[in-house]
Amino acid sequence: MSGTNRPRVLVAGMQYEVNSFTAGTGTLEIFRKRRLAEGDEVFATSHGDEVAGARKVAARRGVDLVPIFLTFGGAGPLLDDEVYHYCRDRILAGVRREAGRIDGIYLPLHGAMAAKTYPDAEGDLVTRIREIVGPKVPIVATFDMHANFTDEMARGLDGAVGFKTCPHVDYPETGEAGMEILCKAMAGEAKPRLIHRKVRMMTSAEGHDTNTGPMTEVIALLREVEMTPGVLSATVIAPQPWMDVPELGWSVLVVADGHASVAEGQRQADRVGRHVWGMRERFRSNRISLEEAFDAVAASSADQKPFVLSDASDAPSAGSFGDSTVVLKHLLARPPLAGPLLLTLTDPAATDACHKAGVGAALSLTIGAAFQPIYYEPVTVEARVIGLYDGPYMSELPPMNLDAGRRAVIEIQGFIRVLLSEKPVITLDLKGYEASGLYPREAKTVIVKSAGQFRGFYTPFAHRIVELETPGPVDSILPRLPFRNITRPLWPFDPDLAEPWEGAGP
């Protein structure tokens, strides 16, 4: 226990979403350019996130927080072990330093981190923290909805709470909920017991939107479960599907209050598990061909705009590099459409060529497939440079400065406007386009490289939203991806699987 009357809670975390199918290896640079904060920097870099929510509750309940370490690396390839070791060892050093003087631990995690020899990095982290502090110090973690929750995480944690929104707009609320459980545990007001039910299903990210479709029902059910006496919180984890790890699959988490509530908590977790299993077919994506999508654009009247077309298979928010030329190649092969049509493409060499040529220059450029030639092919275009940009810009989701490096806007065939950037960057909201002089609301067609989270931003003004049938490392037709490490049976890889877990009954 701490020396003063005020309880002390250690805060530490690492946040990364691995994509096992993208090229390369994740380095510490991925974190350095987004967020890698130690000590007081953890709070200084916290805006509208889980930590901000946790701080609010701590202030209200008279709890002192001890910030140790926090990273955010977005989404990207499998990490080198050294990167994970660096983050983990910073956190463990802080835990060792504070052990004996802290009353609880809050871990703002993402839950989808993996390194070369660590398919479950967070499980390893939690286990090692638990070894240092022993069984009596309560540990509560918060998670992204797209985590992959494991039994090892469950063994080390007293409580776990995940987002209930997608697009994720409840970062602070989730931090508040996690910290509230931790504070109750420290004050003796509750005895959190974490129950984990694994469900043998995987779904593509298109179906995770909590504003429309099947996920709205799932969230309503969780709210109902949370009204049950003895239940402190209920979460559904629908993993991002590009993580090739042994325990891949949906999870239901229920935090029960005390030993006497464990049986009821398990019953509720199983109830939610059976419910989502019964809905599984409804989570399939509903993609249409490029021909069909652009025929619809061509046939539309001038005031029917914008068409918002998602090229989810190349989504940087899921770990792709944003260098697909599939849509561009299709456009170049068909008669020109009414414009403007907005498209993003990561290509450092082409961006550099545009900056050297200057605004107004006309040039022949070979663009695309700069990072992922195994999925895409470059195309050569006659382009005119219409804008040059540099420097980071504030994004709405995630709520932070994003750095795409230098950017250039080129015009092709009079109607295509390609936003070139040196680095891949998350494109869920409109900010990347707007920071580059392109305005989706006024466009005829906007290509968005996101599976579902873009909907929260585009639905209010889109004439029509269409999911494109395109290839790439974040394909949503999961059996097409080269999974090697997942545990079978798992739906939809085993489409005839009868039970959501062994012994559940059909």
State the number of binding residues for Zn ion (CB under 5 A). 2
Encode burial over 334-371: b for 16+ CB neighbours within 10 A, e otherwise.
Answer: eeebeebbbbbbbbbebbebbbebeeeeebebebbbbb
Q: Which amino acid is residue 400, in one-letter code?
A: M
CA dist., res. 51 & res. 40, Å (int): 12
Judged by CB under 5 A, the chain residues 230 through 289 that form the site for Zn ion are none
Query: In whole angstroms, how close is the CB of 336 to Zn ion at the nearest point?
Result: 37
Q: Which is nearer to Zn ion, 322 or 340 (CB)?
A: 322
Q: Which is nearer to Zn ion, 144 or 347 (CB)?
A: 144
Q: Using the rule CB under 5 A, give the single segment among 26-34, 77-85, 139-147, 315-323 that binds Zn ion.
A: 139-147
CA dist., res. 46 & res. 61, Å (int): 20
Q: Is 444 in the site for Zn ion (CB under 5 A)?
A: no
Query: In whole angstroms, how close is the CB of 443 to Zn ion at the nearest point?
Result: 26
Does residue 463 contact residue 478 with C-beta atoms inside 8 Å?
A: no
Q: Which is nearer to Zn ion, 9 or 169 (CB)?
A: 169
**DSSP structural state of residue 2:** -
Q: Which is nearer to Zn ion, 146 or 305 (CB)?
A: 146
User: Which alpha helices (H) appear in 47-120, and where do they start and end?
Assistant: 50-61, 81-98
Query: In whole angstroms, how close is the CB of 214 to Zn ion at the nearest point?
Result: 17
Q: Which is nearer to Zn ion, 146 or 355 (CB)?
A: 146
Query: In whole angstroms, how close is the CB of 72 to Zn ion at the nearest point?
Result: 12
The candidate with the shortest Cα–Cα distance to 253, out of 162, 176, 368, is 162
With a CB cutoff of 8 Å and minimum separation 6, the contacts of 470 are 287, 290, 311, 312, 313, 314, 324, 326, 327
Q: Residue 193 — φ and ψ, nearest 5°?
A: -130, 120
Q: Which is nearer to Zn ion, 144 or 467 (CB)?
A: 144
Which tokens is 477 given? Answer: 């037709």
Contact with Zn ion (CB under 5 A): which of 34, 88, 146, 305?
A: 146
Query: In whole angstroms, how close is the CB of 273 to Zn ion at the nearest point?
Result: 20
- Residue 129, number of CB atoms within 10 A of its CB: 25
CA dist., res. 198 & res. 487, Å (int): 12
Q: Is 144 in the site for Zn ion (CB under 5 A)?
A: yes
Q: Which is nearer to Zn ion, 143 or 433 (CB)?
A: 143
Query: In whole angstroms, how close is the CB of 216 to Zn ion at the nearest point?
Result: 17
Q: Give the helix/strand (H/E) hosting 10.
A: strand 8-18
Query: In whole angstroms, how close is the CB of 163 to Zn ion at the nearest point?
Result: 7
Q: Using the rule CB under 5 A, give the single segment among 141-149, 318-326, 360-368, 433-441 that binds Zn ion.
A: 141-149
Q: Residue 147 — φ and ψ, nearest 5°?
A: -70, 175
Q: Which is nearer to Zn ion, 171 or 376 (CB)?
A: 171
Q: Largest alpha-carbon pair distance within the chain?
A: 75
Which tokens is 363 given? Answer: 């040039």
Q: Using the rule CB under 5 A, give the single segment among 146-154, 266-274, 408-416, 488-496 that binds Zn ion.
A: 146-154
Q: Which residue is nearest to Zn ion (CB)?
A: 146
Query: In whole angstroms, how close is the CB of 110 to Zn ion at the nearest point?
Result: 8
Q: Using the rule CB under 5 A, give the single segment among 95-103, 142-150, 336-344, 484-492 that binds Zn ion.
A: 142-150
State the residues that interact with Zn ion by CB under 5 A: 144, 146
